[in-house]
Amino acid sequence: MGAGVLSTYRDLLPLTSATPMITMGEGDTPLVKSNRLGRELGCPELYFKLEGCNPTGSFKDRGMVVAIAKALEEGSRAIMCASTGNTSASAAAFGAHCDIPTFVLIPKGEVAMGKLAQAMIYGAKVIMVNANFDVALGLVREFTERNDVTLVNSVNPNRIEGQKTAAFEVVDALGDAPDLLFIPVGNAGNITAYWKGFREYQDLGRSQTLPRMMGFQAEGAAPIVRGEIVANPQTIASAIRIGNPASWSGAIEARDGSGGVIDSVSDDEILEAYRLLANKEGIFCEPASAASFAGLVKMHRQGLDLHDKRIVCICTGNGLKDPDLAVSSAGGQAIEIAPTIEAVEAATLGNGELGEPRRSRNSE
């Protein structure tokens, strides 16, 4: 493994002998079994798919590698996307890797600093628009229709093709599809891609079952839940601050075809899940990513019985993209002391923070 999405899933992607087999090491991300949170929710088989381990820190790399390879194959002169941040980081990285000019339109003031930093250092032309993501995507669609530049948002079907490989990996790791798959929903490309991947694997006989697709939007940016476009979407989870998802119908198909759910979680629920994942599992994902686990917590509170369910939560992006939010959410945990051993001891042992002695942490 580690060979990248194109060569690993060559036969299941729209490749030809002329497609350049590029890779930056995307895909093959860990599926980690929960050590604490699953137990607390009465769910012994809970897994997290760590998409933040991709080269640019999000799942977008899986789709981008296919979109860029096809753009190169077609002789494209430049690529372009609108983005809440991660798509632009991924496009910019692959643009640099493949030496193809990259234009990214981002909503001004609404993109996490780490993502903006990525797009800039990778050398993309970063264009800030005084509007939200939906407006920026509209501009990019119009621009790429009028000009010979390849659109690499998930309205480009090659993006969906690449992203479906994450579903393949989940099945390959578990031996079958999970019972429930929790996933954040923004522009709805990813839920569309996973559903396509699970169905293709089942058609090929590589899995017996299909998961129920459990998609979660942020409450202030939940057009699919509400059944109408949200003109001015608002949420702390800036990656999914999207009011008119491009793959809206794909999300509905995933929901209805799988007997699943598209629901919303509040910003408080997202932040609670964000903190829980970090301080009870050691998983530092970004707030938008935590919407998947927040959805699981919500359904647990509503009485969903999880004891015999195999569940996967997709952690779509890396928490390091927005460290300021982590510091402000963690709440005053760093203390300042004088540089003496007494002060170090007072700050550590003084408050009984070590707890009771214990032999083994894994004996349960």
Give contact residues for ligand AN7 (rule: CB under 6 A).
Answer: 58, 83-87, 154, 184-190, 239-240, 286, 288-289, 316-317
The H or E element that residue 254 is part of is helix 248-258
CB nearer to ligand AN7: give 80 or 339: 80
CB nearer to ligand AN7: give 23 or 289: 289
Q: Other CB atoms closer than 10 Å to residue 21's CB: what's the count?
A: 12
**Nearest-approach distance from CB 17 to ligand AN7, in angstroms:** 30
CB nearer to ligand AN7: give 8 or 316: 316
Where b means 16+ CB within 10 Å and e means fewer, 76-91 reads bebbbbbbbbbbbbbb
Q: Other CB atoms closer than 10 Å to residue 224's CB: what's the count?
A: 23
**Nearest-approach distance from CB 81 to ligand AN7, in angstroms:** 7
Q: Shortest CA distance to 319 belongs to which of 334, 333, 330?
A: 330
For 219, the token pair is: 């409450």
CB nearer to ligand AN7: give 152 or 209: 152
Rounded to the nearest 10°, the torsion over CA 217, 218, 224, 225 is: 100
* 90 vs 111: CA distance, rounded Å: 14
CB nearer to ligand AN7: give 144 or 190: 190
- Side chain identity, residue 122: Y
Q: Other CB atoms closer than 10 Å to residue 247's CB: what's the count?
A: 24
**Nearest-approach distance from CB 328 to ligand AN7, in angstroms:** 19
CB nearer to ligand AN7: give 19 or 329: 329
Q: Other CB atoms closer than 10 Å to residue 261's CB: what's the count?
A: 17
**Nearest-approach distance from CB 334 to ligand AN7, in angstroms:** 26
**Nearest-approach distance from CB 241 to ligand AN7, in angstroms:** 9
CA-to-CA dists, residue 159 to 68, 108, 123, 272, 311, angstroms:
9, 24, 21, 31, 25
Q: Shortest CA distance to 66 belongs to which of 119, 24, 115?
A: 24
**Nearest-approach distance from CB 250 to ligand AN7, in angstroms:** 9
CB nearer to ligand AN7: give 116 or 188: 188
**Nearest-approach distance from CB 73 to ligand AN7, in angstroms:** 24
Residues 160/154, Cβ–Cβ less than 8 Å: yes
CB nearer to ligand AN7: give 186 or 295: 186
**Nearest-approach distance from CB 155 to ligand AN7, in angstroms:** 11
- In degrees and rounded to multiples of 5, residue 239 shows phi and psi of -65, -30
Instruction: Give the pairing of strands 31-33 and 45-50.
Output: antiparallel
